[in-house]
Amino acid sequence: MMRAVDIKNGKGPASALFINPDTPKPTPAPADALVKIKAFGLNRMDLLQREGQYPVPPQAPKTLGVEFSGTIESFGSDPSGDFLVGDEVFGLAYGGAYAEYIAASTHMLIHKPRELSWVEAAGIPETWITATQALHLVGTLQPHETILWHAGASSVSIAGIQLSHAASASAIYATAGSAEKLSFCVDTLGATAAFNYHTQDWPREVLAATDGKGVNVVVDFIGADYFQGNLDAVARDGRVVHLGAMSGTKLKEGVDIGAFVRKRVRFEGSSLRSRDEAYQGKLRDRLVQEALPEFVKGRFKVFVEKVLDWEEIVEAHGLMESNRTKGKIVCTIGEVGS
């Protein structure tokens, strides 16, 4: 048996979370490694899953969490890669990271370089792979194109802004809800400009900043409330990447979809967790080849808002629900050094 975060009655508010000491320890499948977890990252999907509102993949265990760092304890009968027992790794899973142990596919593990702490490594997989997917596979950003990242101080957009610089975007814009977050996007991350969605007409600001052309790519997590604004702010032959619907999925009466034809706009939704391992594995490989060297050199950074002991998981979920954070919330299990 092991300890893992569980939910009273199967779903509920943050206060329903507790550590269950009688959780079965996972047995690795043939291609899996059993990893003793040092740290795990929180993601907004965890909040939805906790409330019973997320379409969990059928292969996922009931335990929350998809990204983690830790040490390999054992293997299944047919692992892949050059991993050994005792190796320090981080990785992506379909679920089960809020626990002392996780059985994770060796195809989705990455060797942890010494330049990254356990906490930093745990905050990379879901966030950076999602941003890579949005930027390159769905948004197909080309050098010298422009891009708008909504929720600019969220972990995915923090990764996305850095990746956009590396992809030679000519201008990078963001939206956020406070002066502090706007400053963070521009002064710390290097966005060209950022707009306050509470006090500014951000589609109009984007058009003004681009001489009326709009941006080539929009990455959106908000959904219904931003649908019209995205169509207004995107350029001719632009792409809107839809990754979430925090404001809902029902469009308001009067939405004008003329831009789809007039500007030849492509609107495409996507997700990462529902993808098969082959698709996720290609993104994992791209992360290893392109992003990991930049982390080692210090050019890419994992911005961590707060580190909590996993026994403070109720507080961690409450903090994420507050929408006050800039970057990752990471929980650690036991003593975690570098």
Rg (CA), the chain: 20
Q: Which two tokens stand for residue 253?
A: 């009466």
- 85: region left, alpha or beta (phi > 0 left; psi from -120 to 50 alpha): beta
Q: pLDDT band at 61, cuts 50/70/90?
A: very high
- Residue 313, CA distances (Å) to 4, 129, 259 in order: 11, 24, 44
Q: What separation in angstroms does the CA of 319 have from each of 14, 162, 309?
A: 10, 24, 14
What's the pLDDT tens digit per position in 169-215? 999 999 999 999 999 999 999 999 999 999 999 999 999 999 999 99
pLDDT of 336 strictly over 80:
no
Q: What Å distances lie between residue 43 and 2, 98, 113, 123, CA to CA?
A: 23, 12, 23, 9
Rounded CA separation 156/318 (Å): 19
Q: How far apart are the C-alpha atoms of 158 and 153, rounded to whole Å?
A: 6
Sign of the dihedral through C-alpha 215, 219, 223, 225: negative
pLDDT of residue 169: 98
If pLDDT is split at 50, 70 and 90, which confidence band does 335 have? confident
Cβ-proximal residues to 207 (8 Å cutoff; 6+ apart), any chain? 213, 214, 232, 233
Is-contact 75 287, C-beta < 8 A?
Answer: no
Residue 159 pLDDT > 80: yes
**Is residue 160 a contact partner of residue 149, using CB atoms and an 8 Å limit?**
yes
CB-based contacts of 137, cutoff 8 Å, min separation 6 = 270, 283
Tell the residue number behind the tokens 């992360």, with chain if given: 287
pLDDT digits (tens, 9 = 90+) for 320-331: 999 889 999 999
pLDDT tens string 109-152: 999 999 999 999 999 999 999 999 999 999 999 999 999 999 99
CA nearest to 148, candidates 196, 220, 44:
220
3-state secondary structure 31-94: CEEEEEEEEEECCHHHHHHHCCCCCCCCCCCCCCCCEEEEEEEEECCCCCCCCCCCCEEEEECC
Find the Cα–Cα–Cα–Cα dihedral 151, 263, 193, 246, rounded to 10°: -10
Given a cut of 70, whether residue 23 has pLDDT beyond it is yes
* pLDDT of residue 338 exceeding 90: no
142 and 69 Cβ atoms separated by less than 8 Å? no
Give the model's pLDDT for residue 323.
86
* DSSP 3-state of 147: strand
As to burial, measured by CB atoms within 10 angstroms (0-12 exposed, 13-18 middle, 19+ buried), residue 129 is buried
Residue with tokens 């089960």: 96
Q: Read off the pLDDT band of 292 (50, 70, 90).
A: very high
Question: How many residues would you count in the chain?
Answer: 338
Q: What is the pLDDT of residue 116?
A: 98
pLDDT at 337 exceeding the cut of 90? no
pLDDT tens digits along 67-113: 999 999 999 999 988 999 999 999 999 999 999 999 999 999 999 99
Query: What percentage of the chain has pLDDT greater than the value 90?
Result: 97
